[in-house]
């Protein structure tokens, strides 16, 4: 196995808070070794769409991406947000390279099939979606890839794709080359046993404990897909997955960061 690689996904609430974003990116830049950052777009896409008279449609917390909305999310995620993050990382002496999945043919996806809901131009990741050799070239050249939540289908069509899923897919694919860790950074200190008590962080969870916590209603709603992605990654070769507060990233290499997801 090669050197250590950290794949880190930053949540939208941190992106929306300029002060928190600056603090996080300075800590990310200071993280030693090879690393990749994955981001979505926060609320900027919705505000931008509203300013252009385009209504954002959400179903079960997922964005419906019709053709006008695809233009908006591409401009915001792969453009404004991505370049803002890259420029700040350069400020902190991290040689970042802003990418969408189309760049270097890095991440392909397929348009989500229409079932009960037509989500429009939303991409689903397949087993062979990630071009590990292309991304390895960036990493070995000394760059830090910064991926927006935009992929492509290989036929000229861009697709809006869930950033948590992209981070998991990158970590799984690159675990064949590197000793890979996946880190989800958001505004909480970790997975909480009591959502009203910020101090009730669960230090580690294995798959059996995850099922028990779901059944007990401790883990619910938006945390379930995040942890589903986490345990999928562990089952496919990722060393560990962590979920914790973006502002505490400096504690990660000290072994004191958030909640650690464990294999059985």
Q: Which positions are annotated as active-site residues?
A: 9, 12, 42, 164, 226
Please say whether the dihedral angle defined by the alpha carbons of residues 166, 34, 11 and 209, taken in this order, is positive or negative.
positive
* 123 belongs to an annotated ligand binding site: no
User: Among 121, 167, 168, 133, which Cα is nearest to 148's?
Assistant: 167
* 41 belongs to an annotated ligand binding site: yes
Helix axes 223-235, 207-215, angle to 10 degrees: 160
* 42 belongs to an annotated ligand binding site: yes
With b for 16 or more beta-carbon neighbours within 10 A and e for fewer, the 17-45 pattern comes to eeebbebbbbbbbebeebbbbbbbbbebb
CB 7 within 8 A of CB 167: yes
Residue 159 backbone phi and psi in degrees, to 5: -140, 140
* 142 belongs to an annotated ligand binding site: no
The binding site for substrate consists of 41-42, 63, 160
The binding site consists of 41-42, 63, 160
């Amino acid at each position: 196995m090669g050197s250590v690689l950290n794949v880190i996904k930053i949540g939208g609430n941190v992106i929306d808070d300029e002060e928190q974003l600056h603090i996080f990116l300075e800590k990310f830049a200071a993280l030693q070794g090879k690393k990749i950052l994955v981001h979505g777009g926060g609320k900027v896409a919705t505000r931008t769409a509203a300013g252009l008279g385009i209504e954002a449609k959400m179903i079960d917390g997922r964005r419906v991406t019709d053709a006008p909305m695809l233009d908006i999310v591409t401009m915001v995620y792969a453009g404004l947000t991505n370049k803002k993050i890259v420029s700040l990382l350069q400020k902190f002496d991290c040689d970042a390279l802003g990418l969408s999945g189309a760049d270097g043919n890095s991440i392909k996806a397929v348009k989500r099939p229409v079932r009960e809901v037509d989500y429009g131009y939303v991409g689903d990741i397949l087993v062979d979606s990630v071009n590990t050799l292309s991304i390895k070239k960036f990493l070995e050249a000394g760059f830090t890839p910064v991926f927006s939540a935009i992929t492509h289908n290989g036929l000229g069509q861009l697709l809006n794709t869930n950033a948590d899923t992209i981070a998991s897919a990158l970590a799984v694919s690159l675990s064949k080359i590197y000793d890979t860790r996946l880190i989800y950074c958001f505004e909480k200190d970790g997975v909480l046993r009591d959502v009203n008590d910020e101090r009730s962080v669960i230090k580690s969870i294995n798959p059996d404990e995850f099922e028990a916590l779901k059944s007990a209603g401790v883990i619910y709603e938006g945390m379930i897909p995040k942890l589903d992605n986490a345990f999928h990654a562990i089952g496919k070769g990722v060393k560990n997955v962590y979920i914790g507060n973006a502002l505490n990233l400096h504690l990660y290499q000290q072994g004191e960061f958030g909640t650690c997801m464990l294999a059985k």
